[in-house]
Chains A and B, each alone.
Chain A
Amino acid sequence: MRRLIVRMAGVCGLLMASSLALVGCGPREPVSEGAPADMRRLTEEQYRNTIADLFGPTVTYGGHFDPLTRIEGLTALGARIAQVTPSGFEQYYASARSIAAQVVNETNRQVLVPCTPASPNSADDKCAKQFFTKVGRLLYRRPLTAAEIDVATTLAHDVAERRSDFYQGLAFSLAGMMATPNFLFVVDSTEPDPNSPGNVRLTPFARASRLSFLLWNSTPDDVLLNAAERGDLYTKSGLDAQIERMVGSPNLEAGVRAFFTDFLNLEKLETLEKDPIIYPAFGARTTEDSREQLLRTITDHLVARNLDYRDLFTTGRTFVTATLARIYKLPVDRPDGGWAPYQFASDDPRAGIMAQIAFLAVNSHPGRSSPTLRGRAIREVLLCQKVPDPPGDVDFSLFNDPNSPSKTARQRLTVHATAPACAGCHKITDPIGLGLESFDGAGAIRATESGETIDVSGELDGKPFKDAAGLAKVMRDNPAVPACLVNRLYAYAVGRPAGRAEKETVAYFEKLFAADGYRVPELLRRIAASDAFYKVSPARAGTSAQSGSTVGYAQKDNPS
């Protein structure tokens, strides 16, 4: 188990040698009101991880699920209000049928069915009950009730008898189980709180689900469910033991990947295209590899090496494939298509995650870079600041001058800075994005545009920089960068935007994050061990899960 040396800066004034030393000194956790219990639809990734964890990676299926709404920068918050449309259910059921058939096929049944029926040609209720008791607990994230086991077993019995096939009976009943709301929705089940009469608390199994989806982005494993069943998750030592086990597990990488995929809106990469004439080196493989590069860089930095989150903005360490190397112009040739670590020199402009293809190309046009889109992404995604949408009646004739002598983006964007209707917003995006103009729309480095030397100087909130590396440094030192991460990670953890009443709670985690040296696994520990993470308030009459939310994923209309 990895131990961290953490410093409770300005609080304890001494070194503490335990990653879980959460009491005794340091800021006190503010009392959180929580929010009424609700339920979240499994995300596609959570569904996939759950299936892989339960049945192994060889069980595959196709299809796609209904999209989630992005709220406050996160689709995880959209899961809280997501519904299941008829065609969405059709996809769930088709996937369930496909998965169930694979689980009981002749190869997999040897491993995945914990017993052998008396005859494969008829029902065997004892064996079926054993199977559903085990699998159902992992699917529903709690022990099944006697009635639930009875229904699953009886259905398997009936089908087996009608089809003279025990395994077909299991498959039909399993497919039905995987199409129920018990599986498709993660529910905040509550029970009366014995320590606070009149209030409720999450059941131990609901606590286990919160923990598991935050840290592993998957269903609770057997060990965690056992701990829940024993009541361990209500005791500090029991909870800490599970958190320590889970943070130390290789599965933590899946959890960190899931959060950063959502936080950085990597979903946009799924529809990214570049013009093959303008950027011939950029293909479908480039998009896939750039996504993986970014996530490898993040997990290597934050999980494997447990480094300061802020240094992600300046690190030169990354991983590349031959496909990416063509755009980065690196001497990397991996004929097997595999990954190779690469370290950019300390004076290289390719500093940090903002200088990676995944960020640069997705925030560009198909055949041209976009300082505005890049600046906007920095503001909205990395700094959690809102950039207003352009007005619907904006006068585009201002920069439709066919005789314009502009050769560079900076020259073209001068119009934005001089036209009052545009200047208000563009002045908060363009000066940042112009710092990345040394990278074209595909992310390749360049020194000139249309034969003109590119000026990549700029400023971010009064902090000037000379180039992309300078911008990276300014971002690294910007206090809004870690604050944004904390805000988003807390919202992601509790499945809803942090409300006004939780301002102090978020500030508390910001302080801890700083004191812990901006280590993300440590922040995950802190959140997972906090009262706020599990807090639910009694449901108010007529409470709507949607009432407190903001539909903040407005589609953007950004012309330059």
Chain B
Amino acid sequence: MSILLPRPPSRRRALRSIFNGAAVTLALPYLDCFLNENGTALAATGASIPVRFGTWFWGLGHTPGRAVVDKRVTGRGVDFLEETAALKPYRDKLSYFGNFTMPLDGNANYTHFTGWVATLSGYVPQRGGEIPGTTLDLLIADVVGNTTRFKTIDVTSNGIARENYSARGTNSRAAAEVSPVALYARLFGPDFVDPNQAGFQPDPLIMLQKSVLSAYTEQSKEFLKSTGAADKARLDEYFTSVRQIENQLALQLEKPPANEACRVPQRPGEPSVDQLANIREMGNVIDTHKVMTKLLTMAIACNQSRVFNMVFTDNFGNVRRNGESYTHHLVTHEEAIDPALGYQPLAFWFGQQCMNGFAYFLEALSSIKEGDGTLLDNCLLFASTDSNYARIHSLEGVPVYLAGKAGGRVKTGLHVVGNGTPITRVGLTAMRVMGVPRETWGTNSLQTSKVITDILA
């Protein structure tokens, strides 16, 4: 007797069953639950456009007084300065969040670490290297990311796979993709199904893979019997991961919804020997970011995932400029403040390159047309960093940007002033916009229930 599992019910079959009154308790896939409330439709297909969430990370904050004009009251218009000049064309497509606080409740400031952990997880680490909670991208992915091929896509431009700011805890941190060639293979390789192709035929091998995986998983549950409590929790995460891959495989058995914005990109070329030897030279970081951005944004447009994470430079600023002795990080600490300029010129240059990279990412999202707008309009992009003024590791006023209109759910073009309220309000607001049913977020003094209503449409 075969132990291959039957094909899982498709969405269409599930709906039909429900309408026939045959299976009222059958849970629907999440697909339709979080679509654009405004009902924006793709011109060609009439299908609703999903809202996506992404993070974009850069290391080492801003140069004080050179990034964004400080304000005391929330209002329209972000006044960009020299370091953020590249963002001016996107003034109406993003909001800036300044003057929020990050109280540490007596814990140490683990330099360049505490800041990003608190901003993205709502927890203040009590030890260096500790990530006490789940980052907001995964909390959002748990809600909106279950019906796409990938729950999240994690990418970094500076070649350090472990520097991925997406985690479910210290010991559950996925490696980011560092190679454009490998990213292409993963996103657009043999397992990719072009949503716009005619005559979809499900690959029977996918079905077999899923069945084999399910059968082994079922048997592996015996394994749980011989493990302790902590190991059971680790195995639970393993089984959750397996289920997700099973879901991915199941989704590949169905024709994905057509999307006119989806165009399979060209395979990137292999990096040169020189590039491989100098991955963290800022020019190469920028080039890698451009290639990765093209692949990532098209994967999003092709509905391969609803949640993504892009790291431009890591929290320790492990990038350099040719001819300079120090990395960005060391420059922020060792470079003297130019008395005439009033700031550290090389550190400023690094900061400017980061913001140029952010502008490039926004441009890439804006250049993909979806329905009446762009992919950026249907995204909520959370851009953050590890500190405000890296030279002194300051955590007060760590800058955050939210870009995109989330399918019309948020207003953009605002400078939002925190007035001493915790930075976690931005993350909570992002989660609520994305449909995460949370009343509060954050721990101790970072805990908040106050959504930033100024930006809600």
Pairwise interchain contact A69-B245, C-beta atoms closer than 8 A: no
Among A93, A539, A555, the residue within 8 A (CB) of B213 is A93
| Cα-based distance from A62 to B179 in the complex (angstroms) | 12
- Specify which chain B residues have a CB less than 8 angstroms from the CB of A368 in the assembled complex: 325-326
**Is A173 an interface residue, CB under 8 A from the partner?**
yes
Q: Interface 1/0s, chain B 101-144, versus A by CB < 8 A?
A: 00000001111110000000000000111100000000000000
**Is A21 an interface residue, CB under 8 A from the partner?**
no
Of A283, A555, A560, most B-chain CB atoms within 10 Å: A555
- Specify which chain A residues have a CB less than 8 angstroms from the CB of B216 in the assembled complex: 151, 155, 176-177, 179-180
Q: Interface 1/0s, chain B 247-277, versus A by CB < 8 A?
A: 0100000000000000000000000010011
A residues 119-171 near B (Cβ < 8 Å) are 147-148, 151, 154-155, 158-159, 162-163
**Given A67-B173, A365-B327: A273 touches B109 (CB 8 Å cut-off):** no
- Specify which chain B residues have a CB less than 8 angstroms from the CB of A58 in the assembled complex: none
- Specify which chain B residues have a CB less than 8 angstroms from the CB of A85 in the assembled complex: 168, 172-174, 237, 241
- Specify which chain A residues have a CB less than 8 angstroms from the CB of B333 in the assembled complex: 396, 559
- Specify which chain B residues have a CB less than 8 angstroms from the CB of A397 in the assembled complex: 337
- Specify which chain A residues have a CB less than 8 angstroms from the CB of B338 in the assembled complex: 402
**Is B154 an interface residue, CB under 8 A from the partner?**
yes
| Cα-based distance from A180 to B245 in the complex (angstroms) | 13
Q: Interface 1/0s, chain B 151-194, versus A by CB < 8 A?
A: 11010000111100000111111110000001000000000000
| Cα-based distance from A555 to B162 in the complex (angstroms) | 12
- Specify which chain B residues have a CB less than 8 angstroms from the CB of A175 in the assembled complex: 209, 212
**Given A179-B213, A554-B127, A555-B316: A366 touches B113 (CB 8 Å cut-off):** no
- Specify which chain A residues have a CB less than 8 angstroms from the CB of B217 in the assembled complex: 180
**Given A83-B234, A155-B212, A271-B318: A189 touches B241 (CB 8 Å cut-off):** no
| Cα-based distance from A154 to B326 in the complex (angstroms) | 60
- How many A residues have CB within 8 A of the partner chain? 87
- Specify which chain B residues have a CB less than 8 angstroms from the CB of A367 in the assembled complex: 320, 323-326
Pairwise interchain contact B128-A389, C-beta atoms closer than 8 A: yes
Pairwise interchain contact A400-B335, C-beta atoms closer than 8 A: yes
Among A38, A154, A283, A396, the residue within 8 A (CB) of B230 is A38
| Cα-based distance from A82 to B234 in the complex (angstroms) | 8
**Is A30 an interface residue, CB under 8 A from the partner?**
no
- Specify which chain A residues have a CB less than 8 angstroms from the CB of B173 in the assembled complex: 66-67, 85
Pairwise interchain contact B220-A38, C-beta atoms closer than 8 A: no
- Specify which chain B residues have a CB less than 8 angstroms from the CB of A273 in the assembled complex: 277-281, 320
- Specify which chain A residues have a CB less than 8 angstroms from the CB of B215 in the assembled complex: 151, 155, 176
**Given A83-B238, A86-B241, A155-B3: A277 touches B322 (CB 8 Å cut-off):** yes
Among B170, B336, B393, the residue within 8 A (CB) of A402 is B336
Pairwise interchain contact A39-B231, C-beta atoms closer than 8 A: yes
- Specify which chain A residues have a CB less than 8 angstroms from the CB of B363 in the assembled complex: none
| Cα-based distance from A188 to B218 in the complex (angstroms) | 21
**Is B38 an interface residue, CB under 8 A from the partner?**
no
Pairwise interchain contact B226-A187, C-beta atoms closer than 8 A: yes
**Is A330 an interface residue, CB under 8 A from the partner?**
no
**Is B356 an interface residue, CB under 8 A from the partner?**
no
Pairwise interchain contact A158-B393, C-beta atoms closer than 8 A: no
- Specify which chain A residues have a CB less than 8 angstroms from the CB of B230 in the assembled complex: 38, 81, 543-547
**Is B2 an interface residue, CB under 8 A from the partner?**
yes
Among B161, B175, B323, B393, the residue within 8 A (CB) of A393 is B393
Q: Which residue from chain B places its CB closest to the CB of A400 in the assembled complex? A: B336
Pairwise interchain contact B208-A172, C-beta atoms closer than 8 A: yes
Closest Cβ of chain A to B207, distance in Å, is 9
**Given A90-B245, A366-B326, A554-B129: A284 touches B273 (CB 8 Å cut-off):** yes
Of B2, B230, B338, most A-chain CB atoms within 10 Å: B230
- Specify which chain B residues have a CB less than 8 angstroms from the CB of A389 in the assembled complex: 110-111, 128
**Is B6 an interface residue, CB under 8 A from the partner?**
no
| Cα-based distance from A177 to B215 in the complex (angstroms) | 10
**Is B391 an interface residue, CB under 8 A from the partner?**
yes
Q: Which residue from chain A places its CB closest to the CB of B339 in the assembled complex? A: A402
**Is A181 an interface residue, CB under 8 A from the partner?**
yes
Pairwise interchain contact B337-A400, C-beta atoms closer than 8 A: yes
| Cα-based distance from A328 to B161 in the complex (angstroms) | 31
**Is B330 an interface residue, CB under 8 A from the partner?**
yes
Among B2, B171, B182, B213, the residue within 8 A (CB) of A83 is B171
- Specify which chain A residues have a CB less than 8 angstroms from the CB of B21 in the assembled complex: none
**Is A443 an interface residue, CB under 8 A from the partner?**
no
Of B168, B213, B238, B325, most A-chain CB atoms within 10 Å: B238
| Cα-based distance from A62 to B205 in the complex (angstroms) | 21
**Given A83-B234, A271-B160, A284-B276: A69 touches B320 (CB 8 Å cut-off):** no
Pairwise interchain contact A158-B325, C-beta atoms closer than 8 A: no
**Is B240 an interface residue, CB under 8 A from the partner?**
yes
Closest Cβ of chain A to B370, distance in Å, is 26
Q: Interface 1/0s, chain A 192-229, versus B by CB < 8 A?
A: 00000000000000000000000000000000000000
- Specify which chain B residues have a CB less than 8 angstroms from the CB of A189 in the assembled complex: 226
- Specify which chain B residues have a CB less than 8 angstroms from the CB of A177 in the assembled complex: 216
| Cα-based distance from A189 to B277 in the complex (angstroms) | 45
A residues 399-452 near B (Cβ < 8 Å) are 399-402, 441
**Is B235 an interface residue, CB under 8 A from the partner?**
yes
Q: Which residue from chain A places its CB closest to the CB of B334 in the assembled complex? A: A559
Pairwise interchain contact A67-B219, C-beta atoms closer than 8 A: no
Pairwise interchain contact A89-B241, C-beta atoms closer than 8 A: yes
| Cα-based distance from A402 to B245 in the complex (angstroms) | 56
Q: Which residue from chain B places its CB closest to the CB of A554 in the assembled complex? A: B128
Closest Cβ of chain B to A87, distance in Å, is 4
**Is B242 an interface residue, CB under 8 A from the partner?**
yes
Closest Cβ of chain A to B243, distance in Å, is 9
- Specify which chain B residues have a CB less than 8 angstroms from the CB of A543 in the assembled complex: 228-230
**Is B27 an interface residue, CB under 8 A from the partner?**
no
| Cα-based distance from A179 to B210 in the complex (angstroms) | 12
Pairwise interchain contact A172-B219, C-beta atoms closer than 8 A: no
Pairwise interchain contact A89-B242, C-beta atoms closer than 8 A: yes
Among A39, A66, A184, A547, the residue within 8 A (CB) of B175 is A66
**Is A348 an interface residue, CB under 8 A from the partner?**
no
| Cα-based distance from A277 to B322 in the complex (angstroms) | 7
Closest Cβ of chain A to B151, distance in Å, is 6
Pairwise interchain contact A557-B112, C-beta atoms closer than 8 A: yes
Q: Which residue from chain B places its CB closest to the CB of A148 in the assembled complex? A: B219
Closest Cβ of chain A to B164, distance in Å, is 9
Pairwise interchain contact A93-B171, C-beta atoms closer than 8 A: no
- Specify which chain A residues have a CB less than 8 angstroms from the CB of B227 in the assembled complex: 39, 187
Pairwise interchain contact A64-B175, C-beta atoms closer than 8 A: yes
Closest Cβ of chain B to A144, distance in Å, is 11
* 11 residue pairs from A and B, CB less than 8 Å apart: A151-B215, A154-B3, A172-B208, A180-B216, A271-B159, A273-B278, A276-B278, A277-B322, A396-B391, A553-B129, A555-B128
Residues in A lying within 8 Å of B, measured CB to CB: 36-39, 62-67, 69, 78, 81-91, 93, 97, 147-148, 151, 154-155, 158-159, 162-163, 172-173, 175-177, 179-182, 184, 187, 189, 271, 273, 275-278, 283-284, 365-368, 389-390, 392-397, 399-402, 441, 539, 542-547, 550-555, 557, 559-560
Residues in B lying within 8 Å of A, measured CB to CB: 2-4, 108-113, 127-130, 150-152, 154, 159-162, 168-175, 182, 204-205, 208-209, 211-213, 215-217, 219-220, 223, 226-231, 234-235, 237-238, 240-242, 244-245, 248, 273, 276-281, 315-316, 318, 320, 322-327, 329-330, 333-339, 391-393
Q: A38-B231, A66-B175, A87-B174 are in contact. List 12 more A-B contacts (CB 8 A).
A: A83-B171, A154-B3, A179-B242, A180-B223, A187-B227, A365-B326, A366-B320, A366-B327, A392-B108, A539-B228, A546-B171, A553-B129
Pairs of residues from A and B, 4 with the lowest C-beta to C-beta distance, nearest first: A554-B128, A367-B325, A392-B109, A284-B277
